[in-house]
Each structure stands twice: as C-alpha cells, then as structure tokens.
Structure 1
C-alpha cells in the first residue's frame, strides 16, 4: 500500500517537474524568437539605409552623406522592444 502511494507521489512530482521544464523551454524559445526578429529588423534597417545612401544622388544630398540613426535605438545600441 505504501509503495503504491509513494509511486503516485513520485509520478506526480515527475509530472510537475516535466511541466515546469516544458514551460521553461517554451519561455526560452520565445526569447530566442524575439531576439531573431530584432536581429532581422536591424539587418533590414541597415540594408535599407545602405541602399538609400548608394542610390541618393550627390546633388540631392548636397555632397554630404546622411547619418541617420534609427528612431528605435537607445544609447545601448539596441532596438526598443
């Protein structure tokens, strides 16, 4: 009788631990997804800015190169969420 109660407790404890591990993995996966999206957004911004610099006629710029920083970048160099 005690053995069956102990087995139920152990299986319940293992199920709780498994559920916690799944939650943690889901959380990590979500963080990784967000970081990949931010990285992709930065790459797109750089590409568009470089493209603009290359295609803008020198007369339009007045012979100067534009140095435009993205509006979502803070002092740490990271995009705002």
Structure 2
C-alpha cells in the first residue's frame, strides 16, 4: 500500500507517493505542479534515496518537492 502526501500552496502543489524498493525499503516519487488549466506545468521525479520507512520517504519527498519549488521560484534553473 502506498503512502501519499500533498502540500497545496495556492499556485503550487507538491505530491509525494511511496512504493516498495526492489532491494528493500521504500522509494518516493515526487510531482510538482503549477498554473491554470490553460497553462499547466507539471514535473515528476524520483527521490535519489531509499528509505527504511514509508513515513520517512513521504516526508522527505514533500520536503524535496518544496525545495524544488523554492529554487524554481527563484529562477535558479529553467525546466
């Protein structure tokens, strides 16, 4: 069973979802979205670590997504 978490900050939304890792533990898929239906931006990526617990995986995924949003908002990179 996957554990899911969401941060909804008005224009930005961060979602994190866990899944079992093949070698044991849990991995996390992170999805960040922004914009209106006409100009929707979506970016998904996997967290680079494997976690011992689902709770740790989803919390770290949400944190990583929030950091990504902060960097994107500051124009630190262009995707």
Q: Provide TM-score, normalisation by structure 2.
A: 0.31
Higher RCO (Cα < 8 Å, 6 or more apart):
2
Higher strand share: 2
Q: Provide TM-score, normalisation by structure 1.
A: 0.30
Higher helix share: 1
